Amino acid sequence: MTGAEPISSRVTDTKPYKGAESYQLEDAHLFFGRDHNAEQVIACILSSRLSVLHAASGTGKTSLLNAKVVPLLETRGWRCVTVRPQSHPIQAIQCGALRQLLPPPSFEAAAIRRLLAVAPDLNDATLGEVQRFFQELPKASSLRRTLVAPFRQDGSAAVWTEPMFCYLLRGIHTAQQFRQHVQCLLTEPDAEPSLRIDEETGLCQLAESLDGQRARAAYDDWMSDINLPVFGLLPFFRNLFELWGDTQPGYGVVLIIDQFEELFTLFTDRGIQQAADGDGPDWRLREALFAEMQALLAYGTAASGAPAGVQPLPLRIVLSMRNEYVAQLDAIRAFAGSLERSSYHLGPLLRSDAETVIRLPAQFYGYDYSDGCFARIVDDLTREGRYIEPSQVQIVCEKLWDHTGHRLARVLKDSAAPGESMTIDLDTFENVLGGTAAILSNYFKDTLASHSREDQEEIIEILEPLITPQGTRNIVEQSQLIAAPFRRQELRERLIEQLKKRNILRIEPRLGGYFAEITHEFLIHPILDHIKESMSENPGGYRFRSALRWLTRMRETSRGGELAETGLAAAGFEALDENRDRVVWDAWSAAVMFRSALECGKGREALEHWAARFRQLESTDPG
């Protein structure tokens, strides 16, 4: 990596609730509850070299790992690497480990300069003074999250990487540990330090050293020595611990493979169909990963036949996955033995956890809920008398923050007396916002309201196939939603990404492909209600979607691309003609529009437009 490659920091926002988003490492101070779950998970991790965390979808296992388990492991001296299988699991693990365990020096420099941009007085500060500055920031300050947000290379699909400087700010590393890390990073392997970092080294000087040519050369040497051109996780991690681990006292790594079910949903053998398509991850990559895991776990044990004195690597492996795929771990049980004692099932939030999860984040920001308001939220969200769905808690509480909480927090900060509490009352919750049902229903409407009318219609068209005629959730291959006939794929890709971010849509790998479904049952009725409302409030949009569906059916029933005997009805033609720029036309569809204009007796402008469009597309259409 060169210093010229631009990097960017993850965008942060400060608020007590995350809504539909997962908690990240920089949100650790805002993650309340699940303490017992986290300690149980950590006990599994530290008592076994391979452990499994499994839960139902939407239970919050990724948030628990990011914001609770990983920070607690770090305070106990472990370094954590979190990866997903991606298209090549072994390469994903190696790349993720290198980036997260040895962030490039340019990332360290960027983290230091990010701090100096908001606190220029720290230019010549020592590391101890920097730590004190960060620890004295208000707990609810957005600056706290911004200063420890991770980086990644611009335009890259690489994992987000937290520089070691952020570990220093968070108090995970002491000033001495950070100096030692930087000293090693700036020194070629097996060489004497060329630059001394001591207690008097100022931040500005440190950033310049980390961004210099010497630092980049030393880092490249480390990468070359650690990441040898030898296939396999065992030689990779053994080399990592022998070279870099020897420079770091008590060095141990926890490798977390999140979304582990993708190994069974994406890496499948579809037989002759896969051979014909020529795409999709190779199922043999899954088997190769299992073989590498077996070698890692066996290394240094009697079963490996290692020479006397060879110790197991200081490595723990955690598989995080959904409940329904645990039964498919037989290939791992074959070499790891029974996973019962080293597995932890994360259940839904309990009603007894509600006060911690709902009230403490608000109190952290200086406001609260009245007892009546809190009790109503809990009663509304409780299922089967004792369970609460975390995502619904976050959506409801985030809405209350957006509407009232942030104003109360600001008032308290500006003028309230010390110790004074300001509350959101039951009247605001029920009569102003409509209560839990209205908030959950309006969650979808609020998402739509942030888009233009044309994008709203496109979103509805994307979501319609995901609801069955019986009003239940349907599953559709993502490619069918994106590559819909006559629609702009880049627009649909963007809207689907936004729906995923808002937790309206979930995209999951299954059977070698990616499939979409609506995330929660409570979203079904708001979507159907909006479809009904749009039929009366926006009849033009409804006619456009209907005409587009009719044009699609005409294409599907045409023989070899031949035109149908008749064109579109007048209403259908007019709906499509009014929305010319929203449709991706080809020669066939332009010919249909020209014929329809003739049959419907349209004027000269329409006839000339579609004739010209047909001639243009006919000359550029392949075949």
- Output phi, psi for 72, to 5 deg: -70, -40
What SS3 string covers 511-560? Answer: CCEEEEEECCHHHHHHHHHHHHHHHHHCHHHHHHHHHHHHHHHHHHHCCC
pLDDT at 4: 44
Under 8 Å between Cβ of 163 and 148: no
Cβ atoms within 10 Å of 76's Cβ, excluding its own:
11
Q: Cα separation of 315 and 255, whole Å?
A: 7
- The pLDDT tens digits for 100-114 are 999 999 999 999 999
Architecture of domain 33-101+234-246+253-346: 3-Layer(aba) Sandwich (3.40)
For residue 15, pLDDT over 90 is answered with no
CA distance 508 to 516: 6
Mean pLDDT of 442-465: 90
**Tens of pLDDT along 367-404?**
999 999 999 999 999 989 899 988 889 999 999 999 99
Rounded to whole angstroms, the Cα distance separating 440 from 396 reads: 7
**How confident is the model at residue 2, as a pLDDT?**
41
Task: For residue 338, give the H/E element and its range.
Answer: none
At residue 139, the pLDDT reads 80
* pLDDT-derived band at 125, boundaries 50, 70, 90: confident
Q: Percentage of the chain with pLDDT > 70?
A: 89
Q: What is the mean pLDDT of the chain?
A: 86
Tokens describing residue 47? 């008592």
Residue 35: CB atoms within 10 Å: 13
The pLDDT score that the predictor gives to residue 317 is: 97
Residue 56 scores a pLDDT above 80: yes
CATH 3.40.50.300 maps onto the chain at: 33-101+234-246+253-346
- Over residues 309-321, mean pLDDT: 92
pLDDT above 80 (res 318): yes
Say whether pLDDT at 277 is over 60: no
Is the pLDDT assigned to residue 228 strictly greater than 90? no
As annotated, the residues of the chain forming the CATH 1.10.10.10 domain(s) are 449-536
Model confidence, pTM: 0.81
> Which CATH number is correct for 449-536, 3.30.930.10, 3.90.1150.10, 3.40.50.300, 1.10.10.10?
1.10.10.10
> For residue 293, what is the enclosing H or E element?
helix 283-298
Digit-coded pLDDT (tens) for 561-599: 677 667 788 999 999 999 999 999 999 999 999 999 999
Q: How confident is the model at residue 258 (pLDDT cuts 50, 70, 90)?
A: very high
The confidence score (pLDDT) of residue 301 equals 82
pLDDT recorded at residue 214 = 87
